[in-house]
Amino acid sequence: MNSPPDAHPFAGEQPKLSPFHPRQAALNLRDAWGVWNGYKFADCYYDAEYEYFCIRNQCGTYDICPMQKYEIAGPDAEAMLDRMVTRNVAKLGPDRVCYTVWCTDEGRIIDDGTIFRLADDRFMLTCGSPSTAWLEKSTYGFADVTVKDISDTLAALSLQGPTSCAVLKAMGLAGIEEARAFDIRYFPFADNTLMVSRTGFTGDLGYELWVRRELALELRDAVYAAGSDYGIQPYGETATNMARLEAGFIMPALDFNEALKTVHFKHDQTPFELQLGWLVDFDKPHFSGRRALLEEKSRGPEWTLARLDIEGNWPAEGAIIYDTERCRQEIGYVTSAMWSPAVKANIALAMIRTKFLDGEIWAEIYKAKELRQYRRMARCTLRTKPFWMPARARATPPADF
Amino acid sequence: MKRLDAIVIGAGHNGLTNAAYLAKAGLDVLVVEKNDYIGGAAVSRELEPGWTYSNCSYVCSMMRQAIHRDLDLARHGLLLVPYLGTVNFGDGDERLIAYHDEQAAYLELRRHSPHDADAMHRFQADLTRYSQLIRKTLLRTPPEPTSFRPRDIREFLWLAKKFWALGEKELYEYVRFFTISAADFLDDYFENELIKGAMASPGIIGTALGVYSPGSAYILLHHVMGDVDGNIGAWGLARGGMGAISQAIASAFEAYGGEIRTEAGVDRVVVKNGKATGVVLDNGDELSARIVVSNLDARRTFTRIIDKDDLPDGIYEKAKYFKIRGSSGKVNLALSGLPKFTGLPANRYIDRGGQAFTGSLETMERAYDCWKRGRWSDDPFIESVIPSAWDPTVAPPGKHWMSNFIQYCPPALADGPWTPDKRDAFSRTVIDKIERYSPGFSDLIVHMEVRTPHEIENEIGLTEGNIFQGELTIDQLFFNRPFPGYGQYRMPLKNLYMCGSSTHPGGGVSAACGANAAREILKDLRRPNTVPEDDFYDE
């Protein structure tokens, strides 16, 4: 279909605007925009480091409208999801959310995301990448289930940080402090309903707010009015990426390669390789990838995504991992790395051949100093726990700061 | 009487750091503190319900990352949050905003002087070069120049190599730099008075020197060589106030099995046969230990808690004439709202930094003139920060607190001792000056804590209220700190050590003095070293 003649000649190739865009554009003082799933999306608004610290010290909002959201409904919805994902959806209680992955028959991860149980026969599934095709394929054999892409009709704002609960209380959301991690609560809002889930991607105390697209600005204004005394600040992709790495959360196209987009054999990953074996429930009926995953579980994963604490302060981005300081054998590669300002550690996620995890681990790091390249071998220490895991993230009720 | 391995006198951040590293090595360590709270000058106290002041030190940039990391202070509750730039207020309507963003900062400088905006690049490069060299020495023990022990020779060679790497021209510049004034140093780069004033102000903070006094250039460097997460020159706030730093270190110390006893002031160090063997507390209790570590300043250590007759000849005099002149005051204010300042854009981020009421070099020098005459400055230099604009934990929502650091304020007034009336008059001078830039400011004040050198000395024991535990002039730096011949934390009495800011690398919340002292003590006690090296590779 041709565009109307008066439309912008390049309208077809310009990114879409989030319903929060008018407010966010006014605050994007650095004009630092990228694109996510076709939406114009902020890398940062004012200062990425400041925004990161708002997440750790006060609170910030992150526009998750570009995240994909699907409503999966019907009497067979639960069975269909259980057939698709690795976790046991039947065990997901009402008004609860769970994190899960879904795999190919070969047990390779297609994507990760969250499932919200909105009713007995109605769910919302969120994920990073558009997944309509896979979801529809997954409905084969289920008579009574519908999949609806609600990404563009449901607005969502993530509110994260130690003062986030105080902000919601100041907004008048009575009883929000009683919500436990992964709980869903509903509140009347503008003659409609505001859904709040205690979820997020920062490893800190935080919530995600969901309303009809038309109410997006009204919601945002209410959150910002309540948040003005609590240090509220929008944050973009850069700050999110820092926070999620400290929390040990994985990102598609960084720490794992989506199976359906993977060209090279085994350049995608299994849940066990990502240390997400706890998401795989072999006790439930058959699901995609079950056989392959059972086999992998008994054999042990070939690779393991490890958390590394690296000596020195050179971020190990893109570093190759070796078994000795003298680089006798290449044993893996860093997938994400940064200097963690909160923990004061040089942290990384790295995919390492499992059999080498018991030995020494060395990262070969390059860094430019005034154009000249320098190289260091840095000793790495394995960490079992996330680098950032404050008690407040799970405390119920949470404190005000 | 149980004999401890070590007694550390004073629970300031350096004392606690020292104790933590000794305890980490498995020693049985007791920290005794005269106050009923810990932290020394890195302290946070709630004097008005709902408001938590950082009563003394108020920002930090020198805190050694290696120590923060090694003691896992994050797990013990410490979060250091860097702040955005500072607004410098001129004598009149001029404002200079030091934006955190490089491009924004450049444009702002250009607004005042295109010449200076461009010169700033050379200034920053030179300053970075100087500061990198000194940063490398912070977590190292200075070599002893007259000793020919292998370790001292090795350390001198290491230093020589670093110096030599600067190149011949820079070597000369470097030596010059240590002896010139902040004003002379800046004249080589800048023409704009407001910019010069802004850049010079770190050169006088905490010191009884003026911007035109030789030696103030180094003080300037001392204040800009810190970093937050590798951003050299950046400053940060501790979430929960500066006391959170001491609390986190104390928590690490206690996790290693250490004990802190508050309300336990030391009356004197027990000396037997030229060796320190313990302490007698103010309440008369005697405690015995293999070693005694003083976190008190050099003057106080050798003139107040050690009998003159127990000291080798000349030490008492060295301590008595140790330069430790008080020059600054502090006014902490609880505010009912965020103050608004004139002449600034309505930029919501501007209060996320500091305010520096600098004026020009001349204003600052005049302020110093008052100090020389034994008066507080009638138009003082004030460095302020509003931590509550950043930190949700230190004031009720919507309320704020403002830390104001004031130069100059003398420890002794020409017209007689400090009195409550004079203290009030001093605070009025400060508030009147802020009011000039923020009409209605005084109406916001809910509570006020005023600290002249008199209060600082009496409450936390810094002689004359000198925030560095002794001037940071070249005669008292590096292997000369506190005295020539005693630059390696071992003091003239056997088994007596110092670990406070009177030792290398001097003042500031760096934890380096305490850590360096611990390294030396462990060496003497033949214990494995527990103190980390700085964890930045060659910058």
**pLDDT tens column, B8-24:** 999 999 999 999 999 99
Q: How far is CA A36 from the centre of its chain?
A: 13
Instruction: Tell me the C-alpha distance between B331 and B326, whole Å.
Output: 15
Residue type, B405: F
With a cut of 50, which residues of chain A have pLDDT below it? 1
Q: How many CB pairs under 8 A join A and B?
A: 70
pLDDT value for B535: 74
Instruction: Tell me the C-alpha distance between A337 and A95, whole Å.
Output: 35
Contact B74 A58 (CB under 8 A): no
pLDDT value for A9: 86
Distance from CA of B104 to the nearest CA of A (A): 10
pLDDT per residue as tens digits for the range A239-295: 999 999 999 999 999 999 999 999 999 999 999 999 999 999 999 999 999 999 999
Assess contact for A192 and A210: CB atoms under 8 A: no
pLDDT value for B83: 86
Assess contact for B264 and B282: CB atoms under 8 A: yes
Task: Note the pTM of the prediction, 2 decimals.
Answer: 0.96
**Do the strands A68-73 and A97-103 form a parallel or antiparallel pair, or are they unpaired?**
unpaired
Rg of chain A taking only CA atoms, in angstroms: 22
Assess contact for A164 and A203: CB atoms under 8 A: no
**B217 bridge partner residues:** none
List the beta strands (DSSP E) in A141-287. Answer: 146-149, 154-160, 184-189, 192-197, 206-212, 232-234
Assess contact for B181 and B213: CB atoms under 8 A: yes
Assess contact for A322 and A331: CB atoms under 8 A: yes
pLDDT per residue as tens digits for the range B402-430: 999 999 999 999 999 999 999 999 999 99
Residue in chain B lying closest to A378 (CA): B537
Three-state DSSP at B354 gives: strand
Assess contact for A366 and A315: CB atoms under 8 A: no
Three-state DSSP at B224 gives: helix
Q: Which residues of A touch B228 (CB under 8 A)?
A: 341
pLDDT value for A1: 46
Q: How many residues does chain B have?
A: 539
DSSP code at position A380: E
Which residue out of B76, B232, B537 would a mutagenesis test of the A interface target, given it has the greatest number of A Cβ atoms within 10 Å?
B537
pLDDT value for B538: 63
pLDDT value for A183: 98
Q: Which residue carries 């990425």 as its tokens?
A: A48
The closest CB to that of B349, out of A46, A57, A166, belongs to A46
The closest CB to that of A231, out of B69, B392, B539, belongs to B392
The closest CB to that of A57, out of B391, B536, B539, belongs to B391
Dihedrals phi, psi of B172, to nearest 5 degrees: -65, -45
Instruction: Tell me the C-alpha distance between A138 and A289, whole Å.
Output: 13
The closest CB to that of A344, out of B65, B101, B398, belongs to B65
Tokens of residue A5, six digits? 């003649």
Per-residue CA distances from B195 to A323, B183, B216, B366 (Å): 52, 11, 17, 18
Instruction: Tell me the C-alpha distance between B110 and B298, whole Å.
Output: 46
pLDDT value for B133: 87
pLDDT average per 10 residues of sequence, chain B (539 residues): 94 98 98 98 97 96 94 96 91 93 94 97 92 90 94 95 90 88 96 95 94 93 83 87 98 98 98 97 98 98 97 96 96 97 89 89 96 97 96 97 97 95 98 98 98 96 96 94 96 97 96 98 97 78
Angle between the N-to-C axes of helices B114-137 and B102-112, in degrees from 0 to 180, rounded to the nearest 10: 130
Q: Does A56 contact chain B (CB < 8 Å)?
A: yes
Instruction: Tell me the C-alpha distance between A166 and B45, whole Å.
Output: 24
